[in-house]
Structure 1
Amino acid sequence: MQDCQKAHRGKIAVVTGASGGIGAAVCAKLNAEGAKVIALDRHDGPGSAGIDRRIVDIANTAALQNTVAQIASDHGRIDIWVNNAGFLERQAALDITVDDWSKSIDVNLTAAFFGAQAAARVMKDGGGGSIVNLSSYAGLKARPNCAPYAAAKAAIAHLTSCLAIEWGPLNIRVNAIAPGYIETPMSAWMHADPEQKAIYLGRTPLGRMGQPTEIADSVSFLASDAAGYITGHVLGVDGGIGRS
């Protein structure tokens, strides 16, 4: 049986959107399991032993690619890449502007693709690796007031399958997680609207919001050797709401 405390010992892991919420939890989990973690975000995050924090706007493709090249130069390889960075601004579809649309697609989809591409170019020369994308329950089941976000996350789910098929022969596994309602700053709107919160949690079979650590546990599993024969899969970590 795999020793969970050593699941990622010696691996080089990169996490985007790493300064808080799910990203911070993923960094802490991988770090605790022995990985050398490089945390990417537009903002600095809390200092943690073993975590190398680098400030980069992942929506700037050239800056992202340069950062990946520097990581490869510093460490010689990338074993795990986690596309966690996300952006959600709740708006009615009739009110969305071109700029609103572009910002959401740039962060939630375009940056994820080019991050995965840059990581895969390093991984193929190092014998393979694991990429974990963050999709969303909203990308698999329609919700109001988040059309650009939902469209991008739906695309992430399908992109995961496309990349898994194409990069499997390179020994690069690509999977995704589709979180439900997780206790993060992105879900703060639910606390401001108790009535809506009660409705959504009432549709969730487990009857509660998830915690960032629960997403981090799933990321760690999909990135680990224990999931070595899993690729192209979208794992719902949503309290069951995706099946309700």
Structure 2
Amino acid sequence: MLPAIDFDGQVALVTGGTRGLGRAIAARLADAGAKVIVCGRNAPETLPDSVHFVSGDIRAPEQARAMVDEIAETHGRFDILVNNAGGSPPCPIEDASPRFIDAITRLNFLGPLYLAQAAHPYMAKQKSGSIVNIASVSGIRPSPGTAVYGSAKAALLNLTQTLAQEWGKDNIRVNAIIVGLAKTENTELTYGDADAQEQVSRSLPLGRMCEGSDVADAAAFLCSPMASYISGARLEVDGGGERPYFLDLVKGN
């Protein structure tokens, strides 16, 4: 039997934690005893028990640092950072304006970088800390229609491994979760109606798309003592991965 994950006394910030995958991650960490803070520009109507909200825009470096400082000063420590906020609407790269490119890059790459920088002094002083970056399969394979997003997630994966090497001396572990095809509030916009989603689910080895609980459990594991020697890792939470499209074009398949 695996030991229960216990984050009692630890303080965690989950970005994008007011909805979707981030909300599931925040609830999982809170259920394990952590003091969990989520952030965003607008407060949600409801939050899971023991999850608290702070206002701020992670894309602005001064606001990112202010959020981390506020949390650390209020609670006396800063243990866990889950960089979950991200996403992008579809946009052909030939139509992507400089403003669009900047906004998507700041949300998916620069925001996590700013927050990691802000968290570092507190974690280094404690000689402990865990940072989990929520990445995407778009960062490890072509991402047609969302090239800027895919490129930003690829950069986030490189940042993960680089920080793991630079900050290991302070016992700060930095890991990434590569999320596969996932169900969120925007599932229909990405994968179509219920019939289309069912076809997508059947195409995956485990027969279903990723749920919030799948990512939440993976994040909890990476932040826990069970992963004390895991740093710089890319944990793929994708149900076995996408089936290569060419196989369906081969006669007899």
Residue identity opposite 1:14 in structure 2: L
Cα offset, 1:52, TM superposition:
1.6
**Misfit runs of 4+, over 6 Å:** none
SS at match of 2:164: helix
Whether 2:41 is the aligned partner of 1:42: answer yes
Q: Name the CA distance, whole Å, in 1 between partners of 2:102 and 2:160.
A: 21
Whether 2:155 is the aligned partner of 1:163: answer no
Q: Is the 1:15–1:26 contact (alpha carbons within 8 Å) kept by the matching residues of 2?
A: yes
SS at match of 2:54: strand
Q: Which has the larger radius of gyration?
A: 2
Q: Is the 1:39–1:51 contact (alpha carbons within 8 Å) kept by the matching residues of 2?
A: yes
Going from structure 1 to structure 2, the CA distance change for 1:56 and 1:188 (only over 3 Å counts) comes to farther
> Which structure 2 residues correspond to residues 139-178 of structure 1 after superposition, within 5 A?
139-178=139-178
Q: Name the CA distance, whole Å, in 1 between partners of 2:33 and 2:243.
A: 34
Q: 1:85-121, CA deviations, whole angstroms, 9 ceiling, x for partnerless residues?
A: 0021111122111111111000000000011111112
Count of residues in Structure 1 that have an aligned counterpart in Structure 2: 243
Cα offset, 1:49, TM superposition:
2.8
Q: Name the CA distance, whole Å, in 1 between partners of 2:168 and 2:188.
A: 38
Going from structure 1 to structure 2, the CA distance change for 1:243 and 1:13 (only over 3 Å counts) comes to farther
Q: Is the 2:203–2:243 contact (alpha carbons within 8 Å) kept by the matching residues of 1?
A: no
Q: 1:141-164, CA deviations, whole angstroms, 9 ceiling, x for partnerless residues?
A: 113101011001111111100000
User: How high is the sequence identity, in percent, across the aligned residues?
Assistant: 37
Whether 2:5 is the aligned partner of 1:33: answer no
Q: Name the CA distance, whole Å, in 2 between partners of 1:51 and 1:218.
A: 19
Q: Name the CA distance, whole Å, in 2 between partners of 1:233 and 1:29.
A: 21
Q: Name the CA distance, whole Å, in 1 between partners of 2:104 and 2:227.
A: 31
Q: Name the CA distance, whole Å, in 2 between partners of 1:124 and 1:73.
A: 15
SS at match of 2:131: strand
Q: Name the CA distance, whole Å, in 1 between partners of 2:151 and 2:144.
A: 12
- Pick which of 116-125 and 158-167 moved more: 116-125
> Mind listing any 5+ residue stretches in structure 1 that lack a counterpart?
none
Q: Name the CA distance, whole Å, in 2 between partners of 1:47 and 1:143.
A: 33
Q: Is the 1:190–1:197 contact (alpha carbons within 8 Å) kept by the matching residues of 2?
A: no
Cα offset, 1:80, TM superposition:
0.6
> Which structure 2 residues correspond to residues 226-237 of structure 1 after superposition, within 5 A?
226-237=226-237
Normalized against structure 2, the TM-score is what?
0.90
* Residue 187 of structure 1: aligned partner: 187
Whether 2:217 is the aligned partner of 1:217: answer yes
* Residue 16 of structure 1: aligned partner: 15
Q: Is the 2:180–2:239 contact (alpha carbons within 8 Å) kept by the matching residues of 1?
A: yes
Q: Name the CA distance, whole Å, in 2 between partners of 1:235 and 1:64.
A: 26
Residue identity opposite 2:120 in structure 1: A
Residue identity opposite 2:171 in structure 1: N
Q: Name the CA distance, whole Å, in 2 between partners of 1:120 and 1:190.
A: 35
Q: 1:155-212, CA deviations, whole angstroms, 9 ceiling, x for partnerless residues?
A: 1111100000000001000000000111112433234366864664454212221101
Cα offset, 1:33, TM superposition:
0.3
Q: Is the 1:19–1:43 contact (alpha carbons within 8 Å) kept by the matching residues of 2?
A: no
Q: What is the RMSD computed on CA atoms of the aligned residues?
A: 1.8
Q: Name the CA distance, whole Å, in 2 between partners of 1:48 and 1:111.
A: 24
